[in-house]
Amino acid sequence: MPVIDCEIGEGTHVWHPDLVNLYGCTIGRNCNIGAFVEIGPNVTIGDNVRIGSGAFIPEGVEIGNNVFIGPKVAFANDKYPPSGRAEWTQWKTVVEDGVSIGVGARILPSVILGACCQIGAGAVVTRSVPAGATWVGIPAQLLRRSDGYCAEVPQ
Amino acid sequence: MPVIDCEIGEGTHVWHPDLVNLYGCTIGRNCNIGAFVEIGPNVTIGDNVRIGSGAFIPEGVEIGNNVFIGPKVAFANDKYPPSGRAEWTQWKTVVEDGVSIGVGARILPSVILGACCQIGAGAVVTRSVPAGATWVGIPAQLLRRSDGYCAEVPQ
Amino acid sequence: MPVIDCEIGEGTHVWHPDLVNLYGCTIGRNCNIGAFVEIGPNVTIGDNVRIGSGAFIPEGVEIGNNVFIGPKVAFANDKYPPSGRAEWTQWKTVVEDGVSIGVGARILPSVILGACCQIGAGAVVTRSVPAGATWVGIPAQLLRRSDGYCAEVPQ
């Protein structure tokens, strides 16, 4: 069963443990993890997080509470991915509480997705996104500012 | 075997039944379903449909006959995907006969892809596409109008 | 085990042989092949190649040495993918030595990716890319010319 050395909180469902690749990660409570998902070592995921089918979350990513990671969403695992022989660089990407990432979006490394921001389907996020804002496109740009309401952060 | 409670027509091949996640769907005759494909409950698929490796087709999608769904194509399962705690909304997406969707395109909910339209690789479709037209880009826009020929619809 | 009729070189790791779909392909030495990867018949891959989780490499693709294929990268398997009943056309796509393809990029058929070129995350490559250049976006366009250094080609 390809769920290896992970800490998984109470109430969390990995719907198809034989069709995922989870190793060395920490997942909170009441999460839903779809099929064909890969989560790498040292990734931490909060509570009440939904991770759609086929999402890819490699080492270096930290995810808060109440987050939606759409199907096929992928985080890059290097800014300048080397070909075969080179070493790759460590980086850190943070997804704050209440963020929603649309289907098939790509998130480049070393960005912060601010609390409750929304990333459109298929967007490519190349820099940090402010809390509450909606960003779409390639490269992702502002579509709508926050309406000031974000249940996940103090008002 | 993760093909559960599906009706599958004569002549249809699910090439790797142990590497897909099909549940509660209805698939017609003479279709080809690739590996790493997920098809959700109540999805209906017509005859002579090819579904490429890694495609994601959630509840709410209805697919006609003679359709090509490219590898890694994904349909969104909510217009405003909620983070962890919220409920999601029902929607409906229709793919008419003869449609061809290029590799890795994303289709947002509540659209109609008109008969024989073509969606370019990597496109993000945010609104309905007329029959026969070719749409590409993010968000998807018109590249070419129909040439008036569509074997799938009455001339 | 869905690794069928492949020639695989010394030192190459297929990390999850039960979670890939490799058939009829030839892979060189010291490569890394992630989970949920599909590689089709007659594909040839050189030495020291990394292929990320969920990549899709169909028949017609030829990959050199020291190449990085990011997670979720997909090559199209037809320029004008036919719906159900039609035949599809043969094509050829070449990825030269030292190329790096960012996460989730889509490569259309019949292109050459020149030695050491870099393709940005989520890009859709519709035509050939010169050696050493960095291309991004949909459709992919020039971001940076080569700095003249490419360890993979004679200086």
- CATH superfamily ID and name for A3-78+90-144: Hexapeptide repeat proteins (2.160.10.10)
**Contacts of C75 by beta carbon, 8 Å cutoff, 6+ apart:** B103, C56, C57, C58, C60, C61, C93, C106, C107, C109
Residue C41: band (very low, low, confident or very high) from pLDDT cuts 50, 70, 90: very high
Chain A residues with CB inside 8 Å of B69's CB?
none
The arithmetic mean of pLDDT across residues B43-56, rounded, is: 97
| CATH classification for the domain delimited by C3-144, as one of 2.30.110.10, 2.90.10.10, 2.160.10.10, 1.20.1730.10 | 2.160.10.10
Buried b (16+ CB within 10 A) or exposed e, C81-119: bebbebeeeebebbbbbbbbbbbbbbbbbbbbbbbbbbb
Q: Model confidence over A53-107: pLDDT tens digits?
A: 999 999 999 999 999 999 999 999 766 555 544 566 668 999 999 999 999 999 9
Whether the bond between A139 and the residue before it is cis, its omega within 30 degrees of 0, is: yes
pLDDT digits (tens, 9 = 90+) for A98-152: 999 999 999 999 999 999 999 999 999 999 999 999 999 999 999 988 766 676 6
pLDDT over threshold 50, residue B9: yes
Interface check for B114 against chain C (CB to CB < 8 A): the answer is no
pLDDT in tens, C77-124: 776 555 544 566 668 999 999 999 999 999 999 999 999 999 999 999
User: Cβ neighbours of residue B103 under 8 Å, at least 6 residues apart?
Assistant: B52, B70, B71, B72, B73, B121, B122, C56, C74, C75, C76, C77, C81, C106
pTM above 0.90, yes or no: yes
**B68 to chain C: which residues are within 8 Å by CB?**
81-84
The pLDDT of residue A91: 83
- The shortest CB-CB distance from B106 to any of A31, A98, A104 is to A104
Tokens of C150: 């490419």
> Rounded to an integer, what is the distance from CA A61 to the centroid of its chain?
7
Half-sphere exposure of B124 (CA within 13 A, CB side): 21
pLDDT recorded at residue A111: 96
Would you list the domain boundaries of chain C?
Answer: 3-144
Cα–Cα distance between B126 and C45 in angstroms, integer? 37
Backbone region of residue A130 per phi and psi (left: phi > 0; alpha: psi in -120 to 50; beta: other values):
beta
CB contact (8 A) between residue A77 and residue C100: no
Using an 8 Å CB-CB cutoff, list chain C residues near A74. Answer: 54, 71-72, 103-104
**Whole-angstrom Cα Rg for chain A:** 15
Burial class (CB in 10 A: 0-12, 13-18, 19+), B145: exposed
Q: Inform me whether the pLDDT recorded for B48 exceeds 70.
A: yes
Q: Is B42 on the interface with A (CB under 8 A)?
A: no
Are C48 and A80 an interchain contact pair (Cβ–Cβ within 8 Å)?
no
Contact state of A68 with B58 under an 8 Å Cβ cutoff: no
CATH class of B3-79+90-144: mainly beta
The ipTM of this complex is 0.90
Supply the DSSP symbol for B47.
S
What would you report as the CA-atom Rg of chain C, rounded to the nearest whole angstrom? 15
Alpha carbon distance A56, A43 (integer Å): 11
Question: Looking at beta carbons, which residues of chain B come within 8 Å of A139?
Answer: none
d(CA B74, CA B37): 10
Non-local (6+) Cβ contacts of A87 within 8 A are none
Interface contacts A/C by beta carbons within 8 Å? 94
